[in-house]
Chain A
Amino acid sequence: MDISKKEYEQTAKKYAGSSKMYITIPMAFLIGGLICCIGEFFLNMYQQLAGLDFDQASAYTSITLVFLSALFTGFGWYGRIAKHGGAGTLVPITGFANAVVSPALEFKTEGYVLGTGAKMFVIAGPVIVYGIAAAFIYGIIYYIYGFFS
C-alpha cells in the first residue's frame, strides 16, 4: 500500500504542476485541446485517405495516440509536457497511455514480471475495473429492458 500511495502522490504531483488556477486551467484547456486536434487530424486522415468508417478511424486514432504517447514517455518528453498541461495531458487517451507506459518503464528495475508487468496497471487497472463494471451494469439493464420493448 505504501508504494502505491507514494506512486499516486508522485503522479499527482506530476499532473498537478503549478497550483495557481488562473494558469493551470487555461493550460489544461490549451494542451488538452491541442491533443484533441492532433486526434482530429488522424481521424480525418484515416477516414479520407484510408476510407475507414468513423468507428474504425476512431479506433486507429486511439492506437496512434497511444503509440505516440508511449514514444514520448520513453524519451521523457511526456512528463515535461504534463508539468505544464496538467489535466490537459491526463484526461486524453494519451494520459491513460502515459499512466501505463511510465510505471512500466520506471519499475523495470523491479523486474519484468512484478515490476513492469504489475506496475503497468497501477492507474490503468482501476480505470479498466470500474469502466468494465459500469458497462456491465448498463449491460444488465439494457438486456432486461430488451424484454419489455
Chain B
Amino acid sequence: MEIFTEYLKAFLVGGFICAIGQVLIDLTKLTPARILVSYVIAGTVLGALGWYQPIIDFAGAGATVPLAGFGSMLAKGMREAIDKDGLLGIFTGGFTACAAGVTAAIVFGLAVALIFKRTDRTRQE
C-alpha cells in the first residue's frame, strides 16, 4: 500500500507539472524551447528559494523527472560548489550539477545519430 501511494504521488505531481506545460502550449502558443527554458529557470528560482525541495520530498521522481527538477538541481549544485570552493563555485556549480544529464543526452544522442536512420515519423510529416 505504501508503495502504491508513493507511485500515486509521483504520478499526480509529475502529471500536474506537465499539465501546466500543456496549458501554456495551448493558450500561449509558446514554442517547446521556450517552455523548456521557462521550466528550467522556474526550477532554478524555486530551488534557490528552497521551495522545490519539499515537492521532491513529497513526490520523488514526480518532481525530479520534470525539467523543473533539473533547474532545482542547478541551484543545489551551485550552493554546494560555493560552500566547497567559494568564488570559484559560482563558475563550476551549474555545469557540475547538470553534467550527468547533459553528458548522457550528448553521448546517447551521438550514438543514436550514428546507428539509426531517420525514423522519427512525426518529424517527416
Q: What is the interface of chain A, defined by CB distance below 8 A to chain B? A: 8-16, 19, 21, 24-37, 39-44, 58-59, 61-63, 65-67, 70-71, 73-76, 78-80, 82-83, 86-88, 90-97, 99-102, 104-106, 108-109, 112, 116, 120, 122-124, 126-128, 130-132, 134-136, 138-143, 146
Interchain CB contact under 8 A, B33 and A127: yes
Interchain CB contact under 8 A, B98 and A128: yes
Tally B residues with Cβ within 8 Å of A.
83
Dominant SS among interface residues on chain B: helix
A and B contact pairs by CB, cutoff 8 A, 14 listed: A12-B32, A24-B25, A29-B18, A32-B15, A36-B66, A41-B7, A58-B64, A65-B65, A80-B122, A90-B36, A96-B36, A109-B118, A123-B33, A136-B78
Supposing A21-B26, A25-B19 touch, asked if A127 and B31 sit within 8 A by C-beta, the answer is no
In the assembly, what is the distance between CA of A106 and CA of B87, in Å? 41
In the assembly, what is the distance between CA of A99 and CA of B39, in Å? 15
Cβ distance A1 to chain B, nearest Cβ, rounded Å: 14
Residue of B nearest to A12 (CB): B31
Most buried by A among B13, B65, B118, B121: B65
Interchain CB contact under 8 A, A127 and B82: no
Interchain CB contact under 8 A, B67 and A95: yes
Cβ 8 A contact of B74, one of A34, A75, A106, A132 = A132
In the assembly, what is the distance between CA of A100 and CA of B106, in Å? 7
Interchain CB contact under 8 A, A66 and B101: yes
Which B residues are CB-close (under 8 A) to A43?
A: 60-61, 64
Which B residues are CB-close (under 8 A) to A99?
A: 32-33, 36
Supposing A70-B112, A71-B112, A127-B36 touch, asked if A93 and B77 sit within 8 A by C-beta, the answer is no
Interchain CB contact under 8 A, B16 and A97: no
